[in-house]
Amino acid sequence: MKSFAKLTIPYLIWMTVMIIVPMLMIVLYAITVQGNDVLTFQFTLDNFIRFFQDSIFPTVLWRSLKMAFFTTLICIAIGYPMAYVMAKLKPHSQAVMVLLVTLPMWINMLVRTYAWKGILSNFDVSSEFSVYVGMVYNFLPFMILQIYTSLSKIDENLIIASHDLGANDRETFLRVILPLSLSGVISGITLVFLPAVSSFFIPKLLGGGQYVLIGNLIEDYFISTGDWNFGSAISLIMAIIILISMYITKKLDKEPAEVNE
């Protein structure tokens, strides 16, 4: 076992360098004054107070959460029927459909978003609608694949048993298929909501700079304004929201499992 434990050392080093150290730097910047010297840190909570005192920032945060929430709902509404149809196909046809769903993901997300910018420029649509299109298009495959995976794992004997007990197709779906596929739905929610709430280049490209989300604010304060301390405070607030979201989805994912047991 000790020899296998040594294999984790490269991953621990990678995690420390790429995740832990940057997060510690964000926390440090968020709770210090701009222009600190390395040996004379001045700690403050003014960056967080500034965020909540100015009505603009909470408004942008609420807009980001609303955008991510409705993007996730749209992905569920489109993704679940598609995944359900895919799971009902023959194995060869399922493989082809999975290929078609994942094929756009082989192209860089930035390139795909630029393509949608060119397409939507031919239509008279609002900036908000354009951003929704970009969000749903880029994140929908994650929802479809997660739901499809959970649906394809359902034992066909359970569905047969449901029909044998007198349940029709609707009752079988509501009482057997839907509960057993909820784990895939919740996993899909995690993979769609979390990147959608922090996305910055999709609203930047498709919104034309008129539809600002929290990710755009963080980018502006780090790159354009140069106020890393306030940008880190916003990033830390977003990190806390994301951790809370992950905790909630994890709790929801456990509850169906406990019911099934």
- Residues with pLDDT less than 50, the chain: 259, 261
Helix spans in the chain (H): 2-6, 9-15, 21-30, 46-53, 56-88, 91-102, 109-120, 127-152, 156-164, 169-172, 178-197, 201-206, 214-219, 228-260
The predicted pLDDT at position 40 comes to 59
What residue segments make up the domains of the chain, in order of their start?
Answer: 56-260
Q: What pLDDT, in 10s, does the model give residues 179-218?
A: 999 989 999 999 999 899 988 889 988 987 777 888 888 8
**Which CA distances in Å does 19 have to 25, 218, 223, 225, 237?**
10, 18, 20, 24, 17
Please give the CATH topology (third level) of the domain spanning 56-260. MetI-like fold (1.10.3720)
Looking at residue 28, the DSSP 8-state letter turns out to be H
Contact assessment for residue 221 and residue 231, using Cβ atoms and an 8 Å cutoff: yes
Instruction: Determine the Cα–Cα distance for residues 235 and 89; give it in Å rounded to an integer.
Output: 44
Contact assessment for residue 228 and residue 220, using Cβ atoms and an 8 Å cutoff: no
The predicted pLDDT at position 3 comes to 63
Q: Specify the 3-state DSSP secondary structure of 40.
A: strand
State the residue for tokens 């349940």: 167
For 40, phi then psi, to 5°, come to: -135, 70
